[in-house]
Amino acid sequence: MKLSELFTKTRKDAPADEVAKNAQLLIKAGFIHKEMAGVYVFMPLGLRVLENIKQIVREEMNAVGGQEVQMTVLQPKEIFEKTDRWDDAKVDNWFKTKLSNGTELGMGLTHEEPIVDMLSDYISSYKDLPVSIYQIQTKFRNELRAQAGLLRGREFVMKDMYSFARSQEEHEEIYEKVAQAYHRVYERLGIGDITYRTFADGGIFTSRFSDEFQMLSEIGEDTIYVDEQQKIAVNKEVIDDERLAATSVDKTKLKEYKAIEVGNIFPLESKYTDALGVYYVDADGEQQKIIAGCYGIGVSRLVGALAEHFSDERGLVWPENIAPAKVYLARLGNIPSVISTADELYNRLTAAGITVLYDDRDARPGEKFADADLMGIPYRVVVSERTIQAGTHELKKRTEAETKVLPANQIVETLSK
């Protein structure tokens, strides 16, 4: 991708009303555009980051047997009435809309009811179970405060998976497998070491805990207590003695941190399947309850959380597997030999399967370096009249101060690894 052709530009300042560091950085780098509070557009580079995260999530969900679907945003009111989640007094962050004939519709804030309702068309026998279905989709929630940038959107991207099992044991086996898949997701995103599986409240319909995945961060809304030795944590909301006794945490070792909830998994027992009247028939012809679980990951929240974490005073610092491109190729100057050498290196890198942001603009070196840093591209390569004369070009990592000088073929070789 050539920067001279890129639709977006970096900018000096974020909008004055943008108070969140993640959104300020991402807006300045041209990754997102603020439409209104809690509502952001993903621009070309931001979309690449979002897609990279989605792909990691997708691969790990597929690896534990998840099947991807795409459900609808528009939802019928009736199914939410059956679970008592339609009334605004019960669920206060709905966006609702109406057909021209007055029929009320909801705009998906979650999908337990629609998926369970759909299930009844496809699941009847024990042979049809277990199944795990997921989607990566835009959710709508009328959040009271939406001032944390991508961390709390009114429109945001979530991965939500729902599992359906024939027994509590079968459910628990799936639940643990998915929890392990979550650890792999956060590991691959580069935040494995600061993300803790956290005992949290299970909600109104279960005495069990739910499990949050909390990423340590000063700006997080949650307070958690971490047991470093066991690599687990407890949410402040369940930190009383009685509930702690049911966990394996060592109360004397807990340390308090602020954290961002980057995922959340829930045992649903048979609350939704019972409410919507969905059962299966076992081998003996008896009707049985279906035990469900739900598994969320805040995909667009992660873009914000990662931006908060992977950044310094100069801008973003993306890990390689999330970055919108691996290399920032800065061409300094416009004389024909510089243009042809830089063009050739761009073509060679691209042919080697390396993603390159080619800064072919007519701009000052300082401006190019500042943009490379602000965008957080992992490697920077510089081609100039001077480097051509030396027969070597400059290669620098975003995370290191040191610059290497290497001939073009060795640059391609190094970056191919």
Smallest distance, Å, CB 49 to ligand ATP? 15
14 touching ligand ATP, by CB under 6 A: no
Contacting ligand ATP within 118-157 (CB under 6 A): 141, 143, 152-153, 156
Nearest C-alpha neighbor of 174 from the set 111, 122, 132, 116: 132
For ligand ATP, the closer CB: 264 or 311: 264
263 touching ligand ATP, by CB under 6 A: yes
Can you tell me the distance from the alpha carbon of 32 to that of 47, in angstroms, rounded to the nearest whole number?
8
Q: Which stretch binds ligand ATP (CB under 6 A): 120-128, 170-178, 256-264, 310-318?
A: 256-264
For ligand ATP, the closer CB: 143 or 282: 143
Smallest distance, Å, CB 337 to ligand ATP? 49
Q: Which residues contact 360 (CB under 8 A, 6 or more apart)?
A: 2, 3, 4, 331, 339, 342
In degrees rounded to 5, what are phi and psi of residue 234? -130, 130
113 touching ligand ATP, by CB under 6 A: no
In degrees rounded to 5, what are phi and psi of residue 134? -140, 165
298 touching ligand ATP, by CB under 6 A: yes
Q: Which residues contact 78 (CB under 8 A, 6 or more apart)?
A: none
Three-class SS of residue 119? helix
Residue among 46, 106, 296, 378 that touches ligand ATP (CB under 6 A): 296
Bridge-based pairing of strands 131-140 and 67-68 is parallel
Smallest distance, Å, CB 52 to ligand ATP? 17
For ligand ATP, the closer CB: 158 or 395: 158
Can you tell me the distance from the alpha carbon of 300 to that of 142, in angstroms, rounded to the nearest whole number?
16
Chain mean position to CA 326:
19
264 touching ligand ATP, by CB under 6 A: yes
For ligand ATP, the closer CB: 192 or 365: 192
384 touching ligand ATP, by CB under 6 A: no
Angle at 313 between CA 219 and CA 31, to 5 degrees: 75
Residue facing ligand ATP at closest CB distance? 298
112 touching ligand ATP, by CB under 6 A: no
Q: Which stretch binds ligand ATP (CB under 6 A): 261-269, 318-326, 327-335, 336-344?
A: 261-269
Angle at 361 between CA 53 and CA 394, to 5 degrees: 75
Residues interacting with ligand ATP, by CB under 6 A?
Answer: 110, 141, 143, 152-153, 156, 158, 261-264, 296, 298, 300-301
